[in-house]
Amino acid sequence: MATATATSTKTARTLQASTSVSAGGSQTSSTWDGRTCRGGTITARVTNGGTGPTVGCTVSVNISTDGTTWRQMQAVVAGVAASTPYDFIFILSKDVMYAQVTFSGHTGQAITAESYLHEFSSDLITY
């Protein structure tokens, strides 16, 4: 009897490299094309500066069927504590075709935003 061995293909992707977003500003990441993938996990981080914003930054994950018309899949709001990072995790199922992350809505102070993707593209089973 043969023994089955599974090997997964996973790739790290940068959606939004660390960048400063001014108070009242907005930043949208690059678009992830998931049409040939089996899903993934987005990590997003908002870091407040030495003075926290008055209203926390909203982190939105948006999905699309065509890469141009976007619908909000999920949104969370970071806290307002000074010098504090806020981390968020979003799971993309295999049926998501395109995804991007938007950072917006914070007031009073700039924040630093970044997001990455753990892409899962295949399982190879050998015997």
| CATH code of the domain containing 34 | 2.60.120.680
Count: domains in the chain? 1
Any domain includes 92: yes
pTM of the model: 0.91
Evaluate whether residue 3 is within a structural domain: no
**Considering the domain boundaries, does residue 125 fall inside one?**
no
Summarised one tens digit per residue, pLDDT across range 69-111 is 999 999 999 999 999 999 999 999 999 999 999 999 999 999 9
The answer to whether residue 20 sits within a structural domain is yes
Decide if pLDDT at 1 tops 70. Answer: no
What domain range is 89 assigned to?
A: 15-120
DSSP 30-74: PPEE-TTS--EEEEEEEEE-SS--SBPPEEEEEEESSSSS-EEEE
